[in-house]
Amino acid sequence: MASHRRPKQPSRSRVTALTAFAAAAVALSSQSAMAAPDKPNKDEVKAKVDALYGEAEQATEKFDGAKDRQDKLEKEIAQLQDQVARGQLELNDMRNTLGSMASAQYRTGGIDQSLTLLLSNDPQSYLDKASTLQQLSGKQIETIGRIQAKQRSLAQQRQEAAGKLADLDATRKELGEQKKAAQDKLAAAQAQLNTLSAQDRAQLQDEETKADKSAAQSAGKVKGSGRAGAALAAAATQEGKGYHMGSTGPDLYDCSGLTQWAYAQAGVSISRTTFTQVNDGTRIGRSQLQPGDLVFFFDDLHHVGLYAGNGQVLHASHPGPTGGVKYEPMDDMPFQFGVRVG
């Protein structure tokens, strides 16, 4: 016979414990969900990595520009310092000549001692005195005039050198900043790749390798002519070599380093960065492209390659593990315009 005894009600302390346990379970479940978001898939990671490589290239081209300015400034400063040193020697010789003339005349009593004042660093104030001028020969006045001109020239050169030294200091600072920016972007790209499994990374690399081979086969049948064709042929010999910030060959390249090197092999000198290479020839549209023309990509023009025909570009692609000198469809990047050099 069933019992009609009322079931025992849980105590208040038991209810409180159960409630607290349930709340804790919900909180832990919520935290777990927040701590373990959906892992990005292979295509999402590739998109992020490609964007980071692009940002690294932007910094690389700015680095190249700063490096180019640094090299030029160092040469200009060295030339100015050499000019100042030689000018000072010439000034000393002129002063010695004037001193010898003055000494000879003083010994014979033909000139006042005040002439020695003209041998100071600033003889102009004494030249203004008519009594002194009246006692100088035409040759002495000519020598003093040359001394004054040389002093002015040296002062200008020293001032110019000081300005260039200040520019050099600022350029070196920019160089370090752009190098760090590029390295930070590359580190971020590698961190993104590391979120993928080894299988996904291998699959990405396999896909890119197949695409590169297809692009190379499509472009390989095209032959250029003239200096542009010679530049393209030279670049083709570098296929497979790696990408490295600031490098212009012959073992490693960045994008503008490759194009500069390739045209140099064709006997043509072009400037160092994408931002200046855009002005090294005549701008043309896509329908006008011929093999070897420079082709520029992205809104800020931070990437350049050589048109390889059949809609392909030969370029130092990016600094990642699948980058380096290779062929790639132009449609993989936002094309802006071409430049025909010469």
In tens, the pLDDT along 210-239 reads 988 888 888 866 788 899 999 999 999 999
C-alpha gyration radius of the chain: 37
Grouping H, G, I as helix, E, B as strand and the rest as coil, residue 267 is coil
CA distance 34 to 52: 26
Check residue 108 and give its pLDDT.
52
Check residue 209 and give its pLDDT.
85
Residue 244 annotated as catalytic: no
> Once rounded to an integer, what is the mean pLDDT over residues 31-39?
53
> Once rounded to an integer, what is the mean pLDDT over residues 127-140?
55
Check residue 124 and give its pLDDT.
56
Which residues 6+ apart lie within 8 Å of 49 measured at CB? 189, 192, 193, 320
Domain range 222-341, CATH architecture: Alpha-Beta Complex (3.90)
Q: Which is the catalytic residue, given 244, 302, 315, 318?
A: 315
Residue 255 annotated as catalytic: yes
Phi, psi (deg, nearest 5) at residue 341: -80, 140
The total number of residues shown for the chain amounts to 342
CA distance 161 to 193: 48
Query: 44: part of which helix (H) or strand (E)?
Result: helix 42-107
In tens, the pLDDT along 287-319 reads 999 999 999 999 999 999 999 999 999 999 998
Q: Are 64 and 254 in contact (CB under 8 A)?
A: yes
Beta strands, E only, the chain: 242-243, 252-253, 281-284, 294-297, 303-309, 312-316, 325-329, 335-341
Q: Are 226 and 263 in contact (CB under 8 A)?
A: no
Q: Are 80 and 160 in contact (CB under 8 A)?
A: yes
Residue 302 annotated as catalytic: no
> Once rounded to an integer, what is the mean pLDDT over residues 190-218?
89
Q: What is the 3-state secondary structure (H, E, C) of 273-290?
A: CHHHHCCCEEEECHHHCC
Is the pLDDT reported for residue 29 higher than 60? no
Q: Are 42 and 203 in contact (CB under 8 A)?
A: yes
Residue 136 confidence class, pLDDT cut points 50, 70, 90:
low
Q: What is the pTM of this model?
A: 0.70
Check residue 93 and give its pLDDT.
82
In tens, the pLDDT along 76-115 reads 999 999 988 988 888 888 878 777 766 665 555 554 445 5
> Once rounded to an integer, what is the mean pLDDT over residues 257-264?
98
Is the pLDDT reported for residue 133 higher than 60? no
Taking CB atoms within 8 Å and a gap of at least 24, the contacts of 257-262 are 257/64, 257/316, 258/305, 258/306, 258/315, 258/316, 258/325, 259/231, 259/235, 259/294, 259/304, 259/305, 259/306, 259/315, 261/234, 261/235, 262/231, 262/232, 262/234, 262/235, 262/238, 262/306
* Burial class of residue 260 (count of CB atoms within 10 Å of its CB; 0-12, 13-18, 19+): buried
> Once rounded to an integer, what is the mean pLDDT over residues 7-12?
49
Check residue 248 and give its pLDDT.
96
In tens, the pLDDT along 161-193 reads 999 999 999 999 999 999 999 999 999 999 999
Q: Which is the catalytic residue, given 4, 244, 302, 303?
A: 303
Nearest by Cα to 333 from 290, 304, 294 = 304
What is the average pLDDT value for the chain, to the nearest integer? 82
